[in-house]
Amino acid sequence: MAAKNQSFPWLSHYGHYKFFEDRMSEHSRVLEVSREDVGLYSITRDEGDTLKVFICECYSYGIAEFIETSDAIDAVNAVVINSNWCGYTNEAKLHSRGQQVGLFDIGEFMAALNLPEYWTYLTEGQRDLFEQNGWI
């Protein structure tokens, strides 16, 4: 469910992505941040890869939203929920991991950028839950 906009791409409530851009420009593993479209960025890391990242302000990002995002954005590598009042479901996290696409809040994405297989990043609580359910 979109926070402000009922149609894709669920634009930022504030009309900009400054917080995300600032965090990326400060990250030690990020060499370049490039805005490709509204809410869509290319992030080049110091290990040489470039990630296509969709910034979402969706109240509750689930599997249906992930499928819609994947259909609308060719070869998306990560989805970042860029709002404190929005989130994603554990099922969407599991589904996106299976597609080698990361699904994160901004803090999780900051940590995931340090991993070669960034899409595998889990918080300690997520790791416990995923192990408990036999998902990893």
pLDDT digits (tens, 9 = 90+) for 112-133: 999 999 999 999 999 999 999 9
Say which residue the tokens 């110091």 belong to: 46
Separation in Å, CA 23 to CA 7, 18, 29, 100, 111:
27, 8, 11, 23, 12
Task: List, for residues 55-101, the tens digit of each pLDDT value.
Answer: 987 778 999 999 999 988 889 999 999 877 789 999 999 999 999 99
Burial letters 12-27, b for 16+ CB under 10 A, else e: beeeebeebeebbeeb
Is pLDDT above 50 for 1?
Answer: no
Cβ partners under 8 Å of residue 13, min gap 6: 3, 4, 57, 83
At 33, is the pLDDT very low, low, confident or very high (cuts 50, 70, 90)?
Answer: very high
What separation in angstroms does the CA of 117 have from each of 3, 13, 23, 101, 122? 30, 30, 20, 10, 11
Collapsing DSSP to helix, strand or coil, 32 comes out as: strand
Tokens of 66: 């992930």
